Amino acid sequence: MLIAGNWKMFKGAHQAREFASQIRRIAPEGVDVVVCPPYPSLEATLHALGPDSTTRVYAQNVHWELEGAFTGEVSPPMLAELGVAGAIVGHSERRQLFGETDETVRLRADAALEAGLHVIACVGETEAEREAGETEAVLERQVSVIPRHERLVIAYEPVWAIGTGKTATPEIAQEAHAFVKSLHGAPVLYGGSVKPENAATLLSLPDVDGALVGGASLDVQSFEAICRAGAEAA
């Protein structure tokens, strides 16, 4: 069971340091805990967690080249040198707002894995795609480019449930997770307005292997509660 907190563009270095010092001892049995701060807060988070914490730190994105003239990008070796353990690739906000494609998701995942990092590769349909009956076609296309590797997990995040307060019903989540698993052997996390109130139900579904948590991961009590729900479901 993996519970990952995606902080998005929240928590500068000072806030990240304070938050990390409060969650450094979160270690529910059977749960791997990950936090994903913005780039400027990675080092502060790592230092505040300390070397004895079991909580791992991932970046929210990573480039596919080792170095070069790519202003604003960060390479896998740079993350590894900091002590970052992994990265998210293909988050729906990257796809929608910043032109991420299936091909660039593949490139990022391959490069991160080659550098020894772990990867959370995101897939999911928009509301329009779901209403048009295209969910399985979209998921099949997105999953088809994701490499197979022991350090990779997939996060199913229905785009219509990201930051909207909407959550996939247990039936929708289970059906989507089962379909993704029929295409790829990786564990599959659920992402889409995961909160303490719904975490236990979602995490107890047979094909849900954890959660990629957005807004609720910014609050210590909420994030702890979701981690505890994961431990109970593990």
Render pLDDT for 2-60 as a digit per residue (tens, 0 to 9).
999 999 999 999 999 999 999 998 989 999 999 999 999 999 999 999 999 999 999 99
Tell me the C-alpha distance between 218 and 225, whole Å.
12
CA angle centred on 110, ends 104 and 116, rounded to 5°: 140
Q: Is-above-0.95 flag for pTM?
A: yes
**Which helix H or strand E contains 2, and what residues bound it?**
strand 2-6
pLDDT (0 to 100) of residue 37:
98
Residue 212 has pLDDT above 80, yes or no: yes
Tell me the C-alpha distance between 175 and 170, whole Å.
8
pLDDT (0 to 100) of residue 231:
97
Tell me the C-alpha distance between 130 and 154, whole Å.
19
Tell me the C-alpha distance between 23 and 95, whole Å.
30
- The torsion defined by the Cα of 143, 121, 52 and 25, in degrees rounded to 10, comes to -100
Look up 149 and say whether it is catalytic. no
Nearest residue to 226 (alpha-carbon basis) of 180, 178, 193: 193
* E-strand stretches of 30-123: 32-36, 56-59, 86-89, 118-123
Tokens of 6: 């995606």
Nearest residue to 154 (alpha-carbon basis) of 115, 183, 112: 183
Residue 118: which pLDDT band, with cuts at 50, 70 and 90? Answer: very high
Q: How does DSSP classify residue 214?
A: S
Alpha helix stretches (DSSP H) within the chain:
13-23, 42-49, 76-82, 92-98, 102-114, 127-131, 135-144, 170-183, 196-203, 220-233
State the average pLDDT for the chain.
96
Q: Which of 63, 91, 177, 184 is catalytic?
A: 91
Angstrom CA distances, 134 to 82, 106, 139, 141, 191, stand at 41, 21, 9, 11, 19
Look up 184 and say whether it is catalytic. no
Q: Are 159 and 124 in contact (CB under 8 A)?
A: yes
| Mean pLDDT on 196-202 | 97
pLDDT tens for 149-196 read 999 999 999 998 877 777 789 999 999 999 999 999 999 999 989 999
Q: Can you say whether the dihedral through the CA atoms of 126, 127, 128, 132 is positive or negative?
A: positive
Residues in the chain, total: 234
Tell me the C-alpha distance between 192 and 194, whole Å.
6
pLDDT (0 to 100) of residue 125:
97
Which domains, ranges and CATH numbers included, belong to the chain?
A: 2-233 (3.20.20.70)
Residue 79 three-state SS: helix
pLDDT tens for 60-104 read 999 999 999 999 999 999 999 999 999 999 999 999 999 999 999
Residue 121: which pLDDT band, with cuts at 50, 70 and 90? Answer: very high
Q: Which of 93, 100, 125, 157 is catalytic?
A: 157
